[in-house]
């Protein structure tokens, strides 16, 4: 099967595709030569996709500027050029199916594919549907989604297929090699442990609340692993110079083997991007979610509230965050085994262990 994938800008658009590609190769449904990822040169995909050895090409495109409308003349011209290049890519590669996950680049590729009569589909990872996917929903053959709230935002109900996030299936396979806390960080594997992180670069609000809470956390009968993010690590270490923050707290810049570490955690504290949520629910890890307010349509808050409603997470809005509610939320999970177990069961019930296979099944259906 020949497949074009497209999506870009954020990890939430890229990682589901990478999970599907990995599964396609495992099942020998498509070889590397039969797969092409179309993104932008400026997006995160330009680093991640070629780095994984996946064939990658780009088109130049940008979103509309709502504050400076005059700048949109160049955006329109860019879109017209992008669709022409998209058409050429499609005609040259001759895909059996095209799958988009969001971002303006997917708008151009998937729309052109639909016009050419090529089977098309989209996948929406978040609970709030992005602009590109909302537009493409009218033209594609199938719409895959993870959150029930997302399904309500599409008018084409017959096209909807709930597949979950492909990252869920991928992370279940990746966690088979577990981390030994004692060997790696001199921590006790039999003591409740919380992992606190804000992504690879880190999150300022999460790091700030950790600095304010550290001396209280060092007195707790549980362990803390705090990944500051590579951008903030040296600044955090400099602020803690000369401060004894206890042997139960480990401060790191980044977690390389997250899927292997997560099953060892009693709880996680993080942002609420679609990829992170897919990982937590696949493994049934209770979460304290601090949604980023700096995302389109506040979709991280909607993602987080969906988990909280299901009993799988506690939500702390960034503007309400303080050491008291932060520490008490961690205490509530780590010091109450029964509550943590209930949250874990609720979390696992939301995970989709065969999400990639479900998406692939849809691909096979529309391409035949």
What is the chain's pLDDT, residue by residue, as a tens digit (368 residues)? Answer: 999 999 987 788 999 999 999 999 999 999 999 999 999 988 889 999 999 999 999 998 755 545 544 455 555 667 778 889 999 999 999 999 999 999 888 999 999 999 999 999 999 999 999 889 999 999 999 999 999 999 999 999 999 999 999 999 988 876 666 678 888 888 898 999 999 999 777 899 999 999 999 999 999 999 999 999 999 999 999 999 999 998 999 999 988 778 888 999 999 999 999 989 999 999 999 999 999 998 877 889 999 999 999 999 999 999 999 999 999 999 999 999 999 999 999 999 999 999 999 999 999 999 98
The total domain count for the chain is 2
**Residues 6 or more apart in contact with residue 33 via CB below 8 angstroms:** 55
Q: What is the DSSP string of 18-62?
A: HHHHHHHHHTTSS-GGGEEEEE-SSSTHHHHHHHTT--EEE----
Identify the domain containing residue 43 by its residue range.
3-165+353-367
Residues 258 and 241 in one domain: yes
Residues 260 and 321 in one domain: yes
Angle between helices 204-217 and 323-334 (to 10 degrees): 70
Verify that 133 and 177 share a domain, yes or no: no
Q: Are residues 217 and 316 in the same domain?
A: yes
Is 363 found in the same domain as 278?
Answer: no
> 304 and 330: one domain?
yes
| DSSP single-letter state for residue 128 | S
Do 359 and 216 have their domain in common? no
Residues 10 and 155 reside in one and the same domain? yes
Residues 296 and 357 in one domain: no
CATH number at residue 359: 3.40.50.2000
Together in a domain, 63 and 123? yes
The answer on 81 and 221 residing in a single domain is no
> In terms of domains, do 251 and 130 share one?
no
């Amino acid at each position: 099967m020949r497949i074009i994938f497209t999506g870009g800008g954020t990890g939430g658009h890229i990682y589901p595709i990478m999970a599907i590609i990995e599964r396609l190769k495992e099942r020998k449904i498509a070889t590397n030569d039969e797969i092409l990822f179309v993104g932008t040169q400026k997006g995160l995909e330009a680093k991640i996709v070629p780095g994984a050895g996946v064939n990658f090409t780009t088109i130049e495109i940008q979103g509309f500027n709502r504050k400076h409308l005059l700048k949109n003349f160049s955006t329109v011209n860019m879109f017209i050029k992008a669709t022409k290049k998209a058409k050429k890519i499609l005609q040259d590669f001759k895909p059996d199916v095209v799958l988009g996950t969001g971002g303006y680049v997917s708008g151009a590729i998937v729309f052109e594919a639909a016009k050419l009569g090529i089977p098309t589909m989209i996948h929406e990872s978040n609970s709030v549907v992005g602009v590109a996917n909302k537009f493409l929903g009218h033209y594609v053959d199938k719409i895959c989604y993870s959150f029930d709230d997302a399904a309500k935002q599409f008018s084409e109900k017959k096209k909807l297929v709930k597949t979950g996030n492909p990252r869920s299936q991928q992370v279940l396979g990746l966690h088979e090699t577990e981390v030994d806390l004692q060997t790696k960080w001199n921590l006790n594997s039999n003591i409740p442990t919380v992992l606190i992180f804000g992504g690879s670069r880190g999150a300022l609000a999460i790091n700030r609340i950790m600095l304010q809470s550290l001396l209280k956390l060092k007195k707790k009968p549980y362990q803390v692993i705090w990944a500051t993010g590579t951008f903030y690590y040296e600044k955090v270490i400099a602020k803690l110079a000369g401060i004894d923050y206890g042997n139960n707290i480990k401060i790191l810049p980044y977690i390389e083997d997250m899927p292997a570490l997560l099953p060892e955690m009693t709880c996680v504290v993080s942002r609420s991007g679609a990829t992170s949520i897919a990982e937590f629910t696949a493994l049934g890890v209770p979460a304290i979610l601090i949604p980023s307010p700096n995302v389109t349509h506040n979709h991280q808050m909607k993602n987080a509230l969906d988990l909280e409603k299901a009993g799988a997470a506690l939500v702390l809005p960034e503007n309400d965050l303080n050491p008291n509610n932060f520490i008490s939320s961690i205490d509530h999970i780590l010091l109450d085994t029964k509550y943590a177990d209930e949250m874990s069961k609720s979390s696992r019930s939301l995970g989709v262990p065969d999400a990639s296979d479900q998406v692939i099944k849809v691909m096979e259906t529309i391409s035949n």
